[in-house]
Amino acid sequence: MNNTEDLSAVSNVELPITEDGLLFNEVFFAVAMLAFVWLVILEKKRPLLHFPQEIGKGSYITNTTAFIFNNFILTVLRASSLFLVAQQFSSIGLLSGLSSGPIKWLLSFILFDLAIYVWHLASHHYEFLWRFHKVHHSDKSFNVTTGFRFHVFDLFLEIPYKCLFVILIGVEANLVLAIETVELLFIFFHHANLRFAFEERISHFIITPALHRTHHSAMRQEHDSNYGIVLAVWDKLFGTRKELIPQKIGLDIIEAENFLQLFFLAFVTERHIRKILAIIPKGKKRS
Ligand SMILES: [Zn+2]
């Protein structure tokens, strides 16, 4: 029928679902990874913020290890099969009546971006979700690999949420996977330790590194802002936009220097830290 269908036939993918989404997914993923490499080179050439060498290097190694581990685990768990199951129930969703095409893709993208905005906001507001999401915020550096730094449970908990999206909105799971890859490209972009031309103007439409840098501030009132992934409209609409230059990046009481510490960090909450601190004698100055 069309080129993409011909190509997916050529690529010899013998899955029951070989729709446009699968090919898009591959192309977008290649584009996202190329953009990643390009941003890494740019960051090395002219970084915006100068982090101590140890912090910068540690961040690159830890975050890349997290990416490899998370992808391995999620592949072993075959997370995408959940999507395919969800797809069986997507025929009654909001957009299920629309035929596949640019309008449906665009609407799905906008709604998905909103859904991820809501998930991100919830990740900051609910202690249970924050315990995993804070791992992402624990990076004391801010660079393109910070976009890799996620706790595997943070990514895993998102899957049923995305499945619910597939069912409620009535879009193909493959399209959601393709949109996710586009979002990945933006995740790399807005974590870049760079300043872009016309950034302030662009930031009224999409989330830029300057906006997302505020989201990585060490201060809670600052990092509880700018939850958007691609579109800037959601933060404006829901009053969560902040345009500030953070004094410090990372989280103060949380330290994780390697990948294992990163993983276990999620199981130590601020409450635990306070409890442990309470056990330690405080000396005479106790009031
Ligand atoms: Zn966040």
Per-residue pLDDT of the chain (287 residues; tens, 9 = 90+): 344 444 343 333 333 344 555 566 677 778 888 888 898 888 888 888 888 877 778 888 888 888 888 877 877 776 777 777 777 887 888 888 888 888 998 999 999 999 999 999 999 999 889 989 998 998 888 999 998 889 989 988 998 898 888 889 988 888 888 888 889 899 999 999 998 889 999 999 999 999 999 999 998 889 899 999 999 999 999 999 999 898 888 887 666 667 777 777 777 666 666 666 666 665 554 44
Q: How crowded is residue 274: how many other Cβ atoms within 10 Å of its Cβ?
A: 10
Q: Is residue 117 part of a domain?
A: yes
Q: How far is the CA of 102 from the centre of ligand 1 (A)?
A: 30
Q: How many domains does the chain have?
A: 1
Q: How far is CA 38 from CA 32, 56, 114, 270, in A?
A: 10, 18, 28, 37
- Residues 6 or more apart in contact with residue 267 via CB below 8 angstroms: 131
CA 256–ligand 1 middle distance (angstroms):
17
Rounded CA-CA distance 15/28 in Å is: 19
* pTM, rounded to two decimals: 0.77
d(CA 176, ligand 1 centre) in Å: 21
130 CA → ligand 1 middle, Å: 9
The answer as to whether 17 is a domain residue is no
Instruction: Report if residue 150 sits inside a domain.
Output: yes
Q: Can you tell me which residue has the tokens 């009031």?
A: 287
- Domain extent at residue 259: 51-269
CA–centroid distance, residue 120 to ligand 1 (Å): 6
- Provide the H-helix boundaries in 53-149: 53-76, 80-87, 102-125, 127-137
* Cα 135 to middle of ligand 1, angstroms: 9
d(CA 33, CA 8) in angstroms, rounded, equals: 21
Q: How far is ligand 1, taken at its centre, from the CA of residue 124, in Å? A: 6
Does 39 reside within a domain? no
